Structure 1
Amino acid sequence: MDANMMLDFANFSTLFVCMVLKFPQIFVLMQAKSTRGVSLKSLLLELIGFIVFITYQMYYDYPPPTYLEYPILIAQDAILLLMILHYNGNLRQSLTQLTRFVGGWQLLTLQKWIIDLAMSLCTLISAASKFAQLQCMWQAKDSGQVSALSWGMATYTCLARIFTTVMMTGDMQVLVRFIVMAILNGWVTAVVLHYRRKGSKQD
């Protein structure tokens, strides 16, 4: 397989996986009607990271295949956010959260230095989202309704994006972000599986 074929495979497989990435988590919440183990703080930070990242990519006219999955991920995270707020009895907060996100999205593109600074902080924000989910599970000593499949697929997409970033843009900020995210997504997946096995043994 030559480099172009590998690049096409990485781009299309990432897009395909992202189209269904959050579905396992959504289905788990729908079945359980509970958000036990799922961190709202993690989801909000992840949404902020996604919004900053896609805005940065579009601002600098990067090739669309490098970020096409992000509108899909943002939409799926928005659905998850509504579900979490609904099951927690805080659905009224959703309008406030939506207003904040839309307002923040508009502010990002006012000046070049704003989007550059936001992208510099994007990796820290996205990393914080993973640590928030890890903290939630560590405190409960239980993975609750967290989907290992969703986190595993997220790990794959980050690994694929490391390859496409090297091949297509070479942007070091973007590359570092995907490396960090791949490690942390893998870590969350491992912790979820650990608590799953632990729970199965106790049963």
Structure 2
Amino acid sequence: MADTSDYPRGSSFMDPLKGILVAYFMPELCYDKFFLDLDFLDVPCVKMVVSKALGIGIILGSVLVKLPQILKLMGARSAEGLSFNAVLLELLAITGTMVYSVTHKFPFSAWGEALFLMLQTVAIGFLIQHYGKRTGIGLLFLAVYAGLLLLLLSPVTPMSVVTTMQASNMPAIIIGRLIQAVTNFRNGHTGQLSAISVFLLFAGSLARIFTSLQETGDSLMALTYVISSTCNGIIALQVLYYWNSSPEHKKKKKKKE
């Protein structure tokens, strides 16, 4: 068995592990604190590692966060209970965050889920139009959005426009979620809204408050996630409140009356 004392400080059989940890979870200074000095209570490093781990976890979760919603729509072949306007406003907020983060060169772990949420939200928007027998409008929506996204990410777009978009996220999130909440209230159920997707979005936005402060130090980003968490929480509460209600249940009730 090799005597690890023969290895010089900072170079050992743990080098491959160090490469992974330093690349994705912590700066080299924190690696030295934890694995060489055995100081596991260094607060700045602990906060940094927790933030990085949360960020990566959120990104991995975001790959599937809206998949239950998409599968529910495709399974029912219906988009009843979902508001296209609410989806558009949510897409505006996601796009604003993604473009703002890319142009400010924030680490991918601080905003990566926006990319996957954007792709899934676009798919949901198309499905709402498709199952509403407006497939042509759905295809036009995809084409227009792709063009706008390319324009926003290009050097042609001034930084002031990007910052304004990020600032507009807050009213967009509030209005979008209120539209969905009002739709749920009027229907007396949450329709084809996926409970799994709603709860995952709520949990993710809560965690992002901490990671955005820790990794970007951008108060505008953090405030956006505070607003997002509050609005997602309202929808999550509605899902719980209308848990035993469904479109079919409401139809049966009306027939009895």
Show the 5 A alignment for 1:103-114.
Answer: 103-105=147-149, 106-107=151-152, 110-114=157-161
Show the 5 A alignment for 1:1-203.
Answer: 2-105=46-149, 106-107=151-152, 110-198=157-245
Structure having the higher Rg: 2
- Looking at structure 2, the residues matched to 94 and 83 of structure 1 have their Cα atoms a distance apart, in angstroms, of 7
Higher relative contact order (CA 8 A, sep 6+): 1
| Cα deviation code 1:79-129 (max 9, x no counterpart) | 212221111101100232233323433157621211111111111112221
| Cα deviation code 1:160-179 (max 9, x no counterpart) | 11111111112111111100
Shift of 1:198: 4.7
Find the residue that maps to 1:196 and give its secondary structure: coil
- The aligned length equals 202
* Percentage of identical aligned residues: 23
Q: Which blocks of at least 5 consecutive residues in structure 2 are unaligned?
A: 1-39, 41-45
- Structure ranking higher in helix proportion: 1
- Looking at structure 1, the residues matched to 52 and 117 of structure 2 have their Cα atoms a distance apart, in angstroms, of 20
- Looking at structure 1, the residues matched to 55 and 225 of structure 2 have their Cα atoms a distance apart, in angstroms, of 14
- Looking at structure 2, the residues matched to 167 and 47 of structure 1 have their Cα atoms a distance apart, in angstroms, of 25
TM normalised by structure 1 equals 0.91
Q: Which amino acid aligns with 1:46?
A: E
TM normalised by structure 2 equals 0.73
| Cα deviation code 1:148-199 (max 9, x no counterpart) | 1101000111111111111111211111110010111011011022112355
Shift of 1:10: 0.7
- Looking at structure 2, the residues matched to 198 and 94 of structure 1 have their Cα atoms a distance apart, in angstroms, of 29
- Looking at structure 1, the residues matched to 165 and 215 of structure 2 have their Cα atoms a distance apart, in angstroms, of 22
The answer (yes or no) to whether the contact 2:52–2:109 under 8 Å persists in 1 is: no
The answer (yes or no) to whether the contact 2:173–2:227 under 8 Å persists in 1 is: no
2:7 is matched with none
Q: Which amino acid aligns with 1:71?
A: L
Q: Which amino acid aligns with 1:41?
A: N
Find the residue that maps to 1:92 and give its secondary structure: helix
